[in-house]
A and B are shown apart, each in its own frame.
Chain A
C-alpha cells in the first residue's frame, strides 16, 4: 500500500513537471489564444488589484507603526522610512502580494479548471482537437507571470504610502525625510531583488493551481479538495522558494550575511 502511494506521488510530481513546462513553453508555440490571455489578465490582474491595494496599505501602516515604536526606543526613529522601504521592496511586498494573489487568482484558477474537468468541458476540448494545456494552462501561466510583478509594484507603492502616513501623521516624522530615505533604498540591488521574485511566484502559483484544478476528481468534495490543495501548496511553495531566492539573490548581488 505504501509503495503504491509513493509511486502515485512520484507520478503526480512527474505530471506536474510536464504540465508546468508544457504550459510555459506553450507561450512560444502556435496557436496563440490571445483572447483567453487578455481575459485571464483581467481576472487575475485587474480583479486582484483592489484587494492587493487594501492589504498592502494596512501592511505598510502596521510595519511603520511597529518600527516607529521599536526604533524610537533606540533613538533611531528617523530610520523608519529606510527600514520600511527595504522590507517592503525586497521581501514583504513580493511575498504578501503573491499570497493574496494565491488566495484570489490561484483558488479561482483551480476551481474553474476543476469544474471544467467535472463538467467534461476539458474532455470536450480534447475531442475537438484542442490542446487543453495550450488553451487553458498557457494563458493562465502567462497572465500570472505578467500581472503578478505589476501588482507587486502597485502593492509596494501603496505599502510605502501607508508607511508614510503613519510616519508623518502618527509618529510625527518628516515626510520629506521619509521619501528621501525611500529614494535611497531604491537602488538596483533592492529593486532587482524585489522584482525577480514575482515572476517566479507567478509561474509557480499558476502552474500549481492549474495542475490541482486539472487533477480534480469526484464531484463537489473533489473540487473543494483540489482548490484547498492549490492554495495550501502554493503558499508553502512561495514561502520556501522566497527563502531560496533570497539566499541566491543576496549571494548574486554581493550582500554579506
Chain B
C-alpha cells in the first residue's frame, strides 16, 4: 500500500507537486496521467525514496519512508520493480549482462550456468530471448523496454510494478505489445503504477486514473469517470482517443 500524505516537492524554485494526497493498493492498476513536467516521474521517484519530499509524508506498507536512509530504503525498494523511461539500460553492457547485473550483485555464489539459464528464462518471459548477446544500441525501442522489464524482474520478486512512460516513442504495434506484457505481468494480484501522457495506452491497461495538472491531483477515478470528466485538460487528452477511434 502506497500513501501520499500532503506531499509537496520543489525542484529548485519551481514547485512540482503541491499538496498531493492519494493512496494506492498493491493490487491496483493505476495510471498517472498529465502533461510533460507535471511531476509524474517525480511521483515514482518519491515512492522509491530516490528523492525526498519538501514536506508531507509517504508511507509504503504502513512505514513512513520520508526520513529513511539509503540503506533502510533498500528493503522498501525490494517491493517494487521499476522500468524507467527508455529502459535506462547500461549501454556498456550487452543484454545478458544487463539482465544479469542484479543477479551478480545479489547472488555472488550463482554459477555462470545458473546465471545464464536464469537470464534466458527472464528474457523468454518478455519475449526477447534471441537478443541475449546483442548490445543495447542494437535493440529497437520496444526490445529495450522488454529487456528493462526482464532486468527489473531479476532484481526481486516485486509486489508492484512501476513504469515510467513505458510506451513513449514506440510505434503502435510495439506499444500494444508492451501493454499486453504489462497486463501479463500484473497477474497474481501484482498491481502497477504507470506514468504516461499516452491516454490511449493507459486505457488499455489501467482501472484507475490519476490526472495531474499544475502539480495537483485534479482527477482520481475509473475509466468511465475519466471519459466523462468535465475538465478541459482531460478533454484535451481524450481528443487523442477520439482521433484514433475516428480513424
Residues of chain A at interface, number, CB under 8 A: 13
Q: Is A120 an interface residue (CB 8 A)?
A: yes
B70 near A120 with CB under 8 A, answer: no
A123 near B84 with CB under 8 A, answer: yes
Q: Is B20 an interface residue (CB 8 A)?
A: no
Q: Which of A121, A123, A131 contacts B70 (CB 8 A)?
A: A131
Q: Which of B50, B77, B92 contacts A129 (CB 8 A)?
A: B77
Q: Is B174 an interface residue (CB 8 A)?
A: no
B50 near A127 with CB under 8 A, answer: yes
A126 near B50 with CB under 8 A, answer: yes
Residue of A nearest to B88 (CB): A120
Q: Is B48 an interface residue (CB 8 A)?
A: yes
Q: Is B45 an interface residue (CB 8 A)?
A: yes
Provide the B95-114 mask, 1 if CB < 8 A to any CB of A, else 0: 00000011001100000000
B101 near A128 with CB under 8 A, answer: yes
- With A and B bound together, what is the CA distance between A123 and B46 in angstroms? 12
Residues of B within 8 A of A127 (CB): 48, 50, 77, 80, 82, 155
Q: Is A175 an interface residue (CB 8 A)?
A: no
B105 near A124 with CB under 8 A, answer: no
Residues of A within 8 A of B101 (CB): 128
Residues of B within 8 A of A128 (CB): 101-102, 105, 155
- With A and B bound together, what is the CA distance between A126 and B86 in angstroms? 17
Residues A112-159 near B (CB distance < 8 A): 119-121, 123-124, 126-131
Given A123-B45, A123-B50, A129 contacting B105 (CB threshold 8 A): yes
Residues of A within 8 A of B6 (CB): none
Given A129-B77, A130-B105, A124 contacting B84 (CB threshold 8 A): yes
- With A and B bound together, what is the CA distance between A39 and B93 in angstroms? 12
Residues of A within 8 A of B88 (CB): 119-121, 123-124
Q: Is B85 an interface residue (CB 8 A)?
A: yes
**Closest CB in chain B relative to A136 CB, distance in Å:** 11
List 6 additional A-B contacts (Cβ < 8 Å) besides A127-B82, A128-B155, A131-B70. Answer: A119-B84, A120-B164, A123-B88, A127-B80, A127-B155, A129-B106
Q: Which B positions have Cβ atoms within 8 angstroms of A?
A: 13, 45, 48, 50, 70, 74, 77, 80, 82, 84-86, 88-90, 92, 101-102, 105-106, 155, 164
